[in-house]
Amino acid sequence: MLQNTFCHITGIGQKTETRLWDAGIHAWPDFTAATHPPVSRAKTSRIRHDLADSQHALKNRQPGYFSRRLPPDQQWRLFGDFCDRTAYIDIETTGMSRGFNRITTIALYDGSDIRYYVYGRNLEHFAEDIRHYDLLVTYNGKSFDLPFIERFFDIRIDHGHVDLRYVLKSLGYSGGLKGCEKQFGLSRNALEGVDGYFAVLLWHEYEKQGDPRALETLLAYNIEDVVNLEYLMHAAYNLKLAQTPFVSRFSLCVPSRPFVPFVPDPAVINRIKRNL
């Protein structure tokens, strides 16, 4: 889909992009070959210059180039070209403040393997493992997860990034990750009602009481987030694609759900709920 995209070019919005598509200029080579594209001479020159840079970025697998130029609700266009090196990530923390709180667990799913990182065990490995991916998919990661990760590990995240909060909102879905999941028919079963604040309490239960069931429940919750992000990414990609002339060419099959290696403990969840 990236080679059919023009709205990452400075001064080219989606209306101009649609006008190009309607004129039969569906992809970058079409514009290069066009004698009289339906834009001004100044824009024609700018587009041709930026398309040369775009070809170079795509050839060298540099999704950050496009991520920095696409509007947040259009970042979905990266997915088709970089889905083979995509990581769905989600963090849990001791609180919302990046300056005073710390990361407790991180879940990472790449469509094949589930990885999880725990404070005091293997959390430091995340900073190296994330370098193996080109594209990150989060929900609200633009405002929370990625800035928190950068500060906590003192690293810079320059990957391509799809924040599904913006993509789903442009499709009419809102209400947080859990709200969007429900609108797509996804159920959390034993984890129904567990949220980010509850995840903080699960960590406290594990850290103070040494209860391994609390950590297992927290990891089950954290991993549920990234597993569901994969489903939502594919669903949102196909819905956004349906708004373009290319739906029949680039639609993706929604993958089957992977096996999650942790099971939430209802007794732990109920005990925390009673204390609340």
Tell me the pLDDT tens digit for each residue of 225-254.
999 999 999 999 999 999 999 999 999 999
Average pLDDT over residues 182-192: 93
pLDDT at 75: 98
Residue 99 confidence (pLDDT) above 70: no
* Digit-coded pLDDT (tens) for 108-128: 999 999 999 999 999 999 999
What's the residue count for the chain?
276
In this structure, the number of other CB atoms found within 10 A of the CB of residue 144 comes to: 19
In this structure, the number of other CB atoms found within 10 A of the CB of residue 36 comes to: 7
d(CA 74, CA 7): 9
Q: Record the tokens describing residue 11, joined without a space.
A: 């001064």
Residue 101 confidence (pLDDT) above 90: no
Among the four given CATH numbers 3.50.50.60, 3.30.420.40, 3.30.420.10, 3.40.47.10, the one describing domain 81-275: 3.30.420.10
Those residues whose C-beta lies under 8 Å from the C-beta of residue 149, and which sit 6 or more positions away, are 91, 103, 106, 126, 155, 157
Average pLDDT over residues 164-176: 97
Share of the chain above pLDDT 90, in %: 89
Banded model confidence at residue 276, pLDDT cuts 50, 70, 90: confident
d(CA 223, CA 273): 21
Output the average pLDDT for the chain: 95
pLDDT at 98: 65
Average pLDDT over residues 63-89: 97
Residue 213 confidence (pLDDT) above 90: yes
d(CA 123, CA 47): 44
In this structure, the number of other CB atoms found within 10 A of the CB of residue 228 comes to: 23
Average pLDDT over residues 38-66: 94
d(CA 177, CA 139): 7
Domain boundaries, the chain: 2-60, 81-275
Residue 161 confidence (pLDDT) above 90: yes
Q: Record the tokens describing residue 37, joined without a space.
A: 């594209």
Q: How do strand 114-118 and strand 135-138 relate by DSSP bridges? A: unpaired
* Digit-coded pLDDT (tens) for 141-158: 999 999 999 999 999 999
